[in-house]
Copies of this chain bind each other. A is one copy, B any other.
Amino acid sequence: MDYREAGVDITAADAAKARIKALAKTTFNASVLTEIGSFGGMFRPELGSYREPVLVASTDGVGTKIKVAIEAGVHDTVGYDLVAHCVNDILVQGALPLFFLDYIALGRMDPVRVEQLVAGFARACAEFACPLIGGETAEMPGTYAPDDYDLAGFIVGVVEKDSSLPRGVREGDVLLGLPSAGLHTNGYSLARKVLFETLGHSTSSELPELGTTLGAALLAPHRSYLGALEPLLARDKIRALAHITGGGFAGNIPRVLPEGLGARLLRGSWDVPHLFRLIQKGGSISDDEMARTFNMGIGMVVVVSPSDLHDVEHSLERRSETSYVIGSVVRGAGVSWEE
């Protein structure tokens, strides 16, 4: 007997490694000291301009969005999603990316698929100046179905200690919402159940209200807000950020508010995209359940001082970033809604 008969193909893994190595290299900068294939990725950070640098690290997955990717046969977008999600998570603390690592686990080692996934990582890593310095690709027959896989991403960034967020949030601060590109990477188990099981659609269903196939709408890449928000962070115009991921508004906005303060959101202050309405109607889902499962069209909430509002809106506009005033910081706790 050999390892291959037990479902683990080391030769296919070596082929995948060569593809990964070449793609990762396109994301490197002068701080990266090792090629992919070392036991650990070595990175010499440029911290000379920081008084008190703090590393900010985060890990995440893309959930069962992968199931949609598999059905549609498109794998680079979930790779991109994973990096964008991680970049947003450390941005919430005011941090800019230093480097990224990935974990891919598959039921069957498929070098072509691994290359598509890593191409997605590499595209995002290049876009966000965040080198892909290492990773692990594991073939795990028995845990994953032959065609199935899972992803985890890991990012490290840096922030000046005194500039880290949240910082100085007060009653009366304005909540600005920045639009998401779709579900991003949350709520797919519920969305798939409603859209595919209850409504009987497939990824290739053309839905006129979406203007595209359902697969394309569901796989729309997770947006990163790094480009839009970096200049505002540099100018100290942001008091807090909340990345609207699993748990929705209620699960994420309170994470960055001080004790004694809550968020008051204005229902109808932005247009909820059709995809969310389709899911809500198809599954007869309550407003509350929708808001604690999905981002409802808002991917990032920016907390700003009322006196900075005009400046911030103007800066976002110049970067072609739409924003909506969706509420304010109030005394209390959690998230409440104003009709």
Contacts and interface: CB of A to CB of B under 8 A. Distances in A.
Interface of A: 1-3, 5-8, 10, 33-34, 37-45, 52-61, 63-64, 66-67, 89-90, 92-93, 95, 98-99, 101-103, 105, 133-136, 138-144, 148, 150, 152, 154-157, 159, 161, 164, 187, 189-190, 192-194, 198, 243, 246-247, 251, 255-256, 283-286, 289, 292-293
Contacts of A44: 52-55, 161
A5 B247 contact: no
B37 A58 contact: no
A142 B189 contact: yes
Given A10-B292, A143-B64, A152-B136, A255 B39 contact: yes
12 contacts: A1-B285, A2-B289, A3-B189, A5-B193, A57-B134, A57-B154, A59-B103, A61-B103, A67-B143, A136-B152, A143-B150, A150-B150
B43 A152 contact: no
A255 B21 CA distance: 14
A138 B33 contact: no
The interface centre, meaning the residue of A40, A141, A150 with most chain B CB atoms within 10 A of its CB, is A40
A69 to B, nearest CB: 12
B251 A10 contact: yes
Contacts of A59: 101-103, 134-136, 152, 154
Contacts of A285: 1-2
A79 to B, nearest CB: 15
Number of copies: 2
Given A67-B142, A133-B57, A40 B95 contact: yes
B255 A138 contact: no
Contact of A40 (B34, B66, B148, B157): B157
Which 8 A/B pairs are nearest by Cβ-Cβ distance?
A: A1-B283, A39-B92, A154-B154, A103-B152, A6-B190, A40-B56, A40-B90, A40-B58
B140 A143 contact: no
A45 B148 CA distance: 38
Contacts of A139: 189
Nearest to A101: B59
B103 A190 contact: no
Contacts of A198: 1
Contact of A57 (B41, B148, B150): B41
Given A189-B6, A285-B1, A143 B144 contact: yes
A142 B105 CA distance: 15
Given A39-B256, A57-B99, 5 more contacts: A1-B283, A34-B93, A57-B154, A61-B136, A61-B138
Given A1-B283, A138-B63, A293-B3, A57 B37 contact: no
Contacts of A105: 61, 150, 152
B92 A136 contact: no
A265 B43 CA distance: 33
A60 B44 CA distance: 21
A166 to B, nearest CB: 10
